[in-house]
Amino acid sequence: MARYLARWRIVYLLGLLLRIWAQQHLHFRLGMEMKLTRSGPYSYVRNPIYIGNTLICIGIGIMSELLWLVPFIILTCCFVYHFTVLHEERKLTKLYGDEYLMYANEVPRWMPKWGKKAQLGMVGQYLGLSLRAEAYNLLLILPVVVKELFAR
């Protein structure tokens, strides 16, 4: 069972990598001027941070071997992020007006359109800052690591 679950750590890592990639473009925790972000993962989907968060939570649920919890994690994330995004979209519309409305019409909220060509910008000048800003996410797997150490 442990070998099977080890393969699922990729879900957590994908969520973390998506957050790091998004952070390089969003600059939210990097102490920079905020602007409407349309590059990197934001050229494919409007909410990559929340998708990354959901993947991280699912990955932690799987790694903790509480598989019965995973559907509840998914439902909770869907519920919370649905209402969070509705609130944020109202704020972004007030802040950026027509520019945001055009972006919202072009880029889907959750499911990416893959045929579109965009600059990925996966490794850019803000990679180091983004890694530091997202490092706290590694603490989320600490309980799983401690469990594994004591289970031996």
Give whole-number Cα distances, 13 to 53, 54, 63, 100, 113, in Å: 11, 12, 11, 30, 22
pTM above threshold 0.85? no
- The stretch 53-74 carries a mean pLDDT of 91
pLDDT by residue (tens digit) across 17-58?
Answer: 999 898 888 866 666 677 888 888 999 999 999 999 999 999
> At a CB cut-off of 8 Å and minimum separation 6, what does 98 contact?
none
Higher confidence at residue 122 or residue 70?
70
In whole angstroms, give the CA distance from residue 126 to residue 107.
23
- The stretch 94-100 carries a mean pLDDT of 95
Position 35 scores a pLDDT of: 84
On the 0-12 / 13-18 / 19+ scale of CB atoms within 10 A, 20 is: buried
Beta-strand ranges (E) seen in 22-93 are: none
pLDDT by residue (tens digit) across 98-112?
Answer: 999 999 999 999 998
pLDDT at 89 over 90: yes
pLDDT at 149 over 80: no
Give the dihedral sign, CA 64/70/72/73.
positive
- For residue 128, give the 3-state DSSP assignment: helix
Where does the pLDDT of residue 6 fall: very low under 50, low under 70, confident under 90, or very high at 90 and above? low
